[in-house]
Structure 1
Amino acid sequence: ELRIIKGVGHMSMQEKPTEVINEIVNFINELL
């Protein structure tokens, strides 16, 4: 969980919100 939070915080600074959401969804799909 901590890795996800740090990753989201890092991505949100460099990428657009929509791109960040897509990255989160893709990351979660890989875990499932």
Structure 2
Amino acid sequence: MKKAALATAFPNKRAFSMSDQSAFLTLSFTSP
């Protein structure tokens, strides 16, 4: 996974909700 990108985009992991995670993963997998 893109853990580095995750850490960079969402430094505050406690504020990283499931809906945000779903949206991020969707963008990650759909982006070229």
Normalising by the residue count of structure 1, what TM-score does the alignment of the two structures yield?
0.50
| Greater relative contact order structure (CA < 8 Å, 6+ sep) | 1
Q: Which has the higher helix share?
A: 1
Normalising by the residue count of structure 2, what TM-score does the alignment of the two structures yield?
0.50
